[in-house]
Amino acid sequence: MCGRFVNLMPAEAMARLFSAVPSNDLPEAPRFNICPTNDVAVVVAEGEGRRLRAMRWGFLPPWYKAPGDGPLLINARAETIAEKPAFRAAVRARRCLVPASGFYEWTKGPEAARLPWYIHPADDAPMVMAGIWQDWEAGDQRLSTVAIVTCAAAGGIEALHSRMPVILPPEDWPMWLGEAGKGAALLMRAAPAGSLAWHRVDPKVNSNRADSPELIDPYDT
């Protein structure tokens, strides 16, 4: 799964990278510990171009009467996304790119201690995760929400966790956004072996209040 991630890119850099028009409500960057229900920057196809906009991380299906009316849907499994009532319309028509610099995963240590790892592109290039989104409203409350698509882990990541986000290389961005015809289902696969690197990081990241540069530094155990 993907339950926390990092985004070091300022809005201007993301707008250039994706050739997208930025909205004026984007979350501040850098961010070293993005948690569920935080606002995140995403890229969507809009008209003849792209928009960089903010969305709440935690997908809300249209039948939820309130944000807490059901499970917090931060991830959508690639294997079942087209079948699940919550996600099947979004994966057909509302796909997005979720910029990141890396993500966290945890293993178990002695006495069930949670040991955090930072996983990032081996070349430290920007990482782009596949997402789906949904505009949700109830009464006068309106939210744009997003879930990150995950697949079975591979390339060594499975030693840390059985799941990982679907990571899209630049050549796949147009198809995922629906700009280059059909075939997005074929993109929901694990990143190639050797494309990611990882290291242990400070357990301070376990707190959702932590957000500082040293969180992604290698942790000397």
Q: What is the largest CA-CA distance in the chain?
A: 54
Q: How many CA atoms lie within 13 A of 7 on its CB side?
A: 23
- Which DSSP state fits 106? E
Residue 114: beta bridge partners? 108
pTM value? 0.96
Domain ranges of the chain: 5-101+125-191
Mean pLDDT for 23-49 is 96
Mean pLDDT for 205-210 is 95
pLDDT tens per residue, range 43-92: 999 989 999 999 999 999 999 999 999 999 999 999 999 999 999 999 99
CA atoms of 98 and 132, how far apart (whole Å): 9
Instruction: Give the number of other Cβ atoms within 10 Å of residue 63's Cβ.
Output: 11
> Would residue 29 be called left, alpha or beta, if left means φ above 0 and alpha means ψ between -120 and 50 degrees?
beta
Name the band, by pLDDT with cuts 50, 70 and 90, for residue 1. Answer: low
Mean pLDDT for 11-27 is 96
Mean pLDDT for 196-220 is 96
Q: Is the pLDDT of residue 112 over 80?
A: no
CATH of region 5-101+125-191: 3.90.1680.10
CA atoms of 82 and 182, how far apart (whole Å): 14
- Token pair, residue 124, equals 């430290």
Mean pLDDT across the chain: 95
Q: Nearest Cα to 59, choosing from 74, 78, 77? A: 74
Name the band, by pLDDT with cuts 50, 70 and 90, for residue 181. Answer: confident
Mean pLDDT for 100-123 is 93
Q: Nearest Cα to 153, choosing from 163, 145, 144? A: 163
Q: Nearest Cα to 150, choosing from 202, 106, 190, 110? A: 190
pLDDT tens per residue, range 146-168: 999 999 999 899 999 999 999 99
CA atoms of 191 and 208, how far apart (whole Å): 27
Q: Is the pLDDT of residue 7 over 80?
A: yes
